[in-house]
């Protein structure tokens, strides 16, 4: 099948995106994802997918999102849930988080997540595990226009350049390679700036120490401050759309 398309920018506003937010524990990733779902719940159906082992959705329970959550504990259940969401015609999906999802993929391939895959022989087990994760993320992208996944961060060595980066806490080459699965990869962090006050910021700008990504004709270069209480995704979307509007 062949289908032609134009390389002229057709829109000044983003109309779909698959986003990964990574950061340290307590940075506010799940809260931001709930804020993302709250924003899109104004316009259509949304779903929150909790992968067994994460189970940190208390911070999402302050948005009044209602009965939209589901927990999965098997790779096949995750595939089935994604198929159901696509059938239901949802507008936005949040997945919490990619780290336990990678363990489901490992169990799916190896029958267990208690050992690392071997390399060599008749089967490259790492390759099969990575393919299983890519399969999941491809199915997420097909579910709905707006998808946000979150993942804790860790330090890892990029296998392409040998440098150490802060990346999503995923096994093997997925740590850096996972950026290719998403349109946007942002790093979220929190700083205590006073008694009872925390400032949270998210970075999409290219840099040499943290894995980020943005598929835009003109990059976001400034960190985005996440407001307390809510409105974080609205700020992110505004920053993205501002760069699109600046393109002549």
Give tens-digit pLDDT for 97-108.
Answer: 999 999 999 999
Give tens-digit pLDDT for 193-204.
Answer: 777 788 999 999
- 164: how many CB neighbours lie within 10 A of its CB? 11
Instruction: Identify the residue whose tokens are 């999802």.
Output: 101
Q: Looking at the predicted structure, is the pLDDT value of residue 34 above 90?
A: yes
Where residue 92 falls (left for φ over 0; alpha for ψ -120 to 50; beta otherwise) is beta
| Residue among 219, 165, 172 at smallest CA distance from 187 | 165
Q: CATH number for the 17-246 domain, one of 3.40.50.300, 1.10.10.10, 3.40.960.10, 3.40.50.1220?
A: 3.40.50.300
Q: What value does the mean pLDDT take over residues 117-122? A: 61
Domain positions in the chain are 17-246
Burial (CB < 10 A; 0-12, 13-18, 19+), residue 124, is: middle
Supply the pTM of this predicted model: 0.94
Q: Is the peptide bond before 97 cis (omega within 30 degrees of 0)?
A: yes
Mean pLDDT, all residues of the chain: 92
């Amino acid at each position: 099948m062949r289908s032609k398309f134009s390389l002229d920018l057709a829109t000044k506003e983003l109309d779909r995106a698959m986003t990964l937010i990574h950061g340290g524990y307590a940075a506010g990733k799940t809260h931001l994802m709930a804020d993302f779902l709250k924003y899109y719940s104004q316009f259509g159906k949304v779903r929150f997918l909790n992968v067994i082992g994460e189970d940190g959705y208390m911070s999402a329970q302050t948005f009044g999102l209602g009965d939209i959550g589901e927990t999965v504990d098997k790779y096949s259940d995750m595939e089935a849930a994604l198929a159901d969401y696509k059938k239901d015609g949802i507008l936005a999906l949040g997945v919490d988080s990619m780290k336990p999802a990678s363990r489901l993929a490992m169990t799916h391939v190896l029958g267990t997540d208690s050992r690392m895959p071997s390399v060599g022989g008749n089967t490259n087990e790492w390759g099969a595990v990575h393919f299983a994760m890519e399969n999941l993320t491809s199915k997420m992208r097909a579910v709905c226009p707006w998808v946000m996944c979150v993942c804790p961060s860790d330090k890892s060595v990029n296998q392409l350049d040998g440098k150490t980066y802060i990346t999503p806490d995923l096994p093997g080459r997925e740590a850096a390679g996972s950026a290719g699965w998403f349109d946007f990869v942002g790093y979220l962090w929190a700083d205590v700036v006073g008694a009872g006050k925390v400032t949270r910021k998210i970075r999409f700008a290219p840099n040499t120490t943290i894995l980020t990504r943005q598929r835009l004709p003109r990059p976001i270069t400034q960190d985005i401050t996440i407001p307390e209480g809510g409105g974080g995704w609205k700020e992110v979307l505004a920053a993205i759309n501002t760069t699109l509007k600046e393109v002549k």
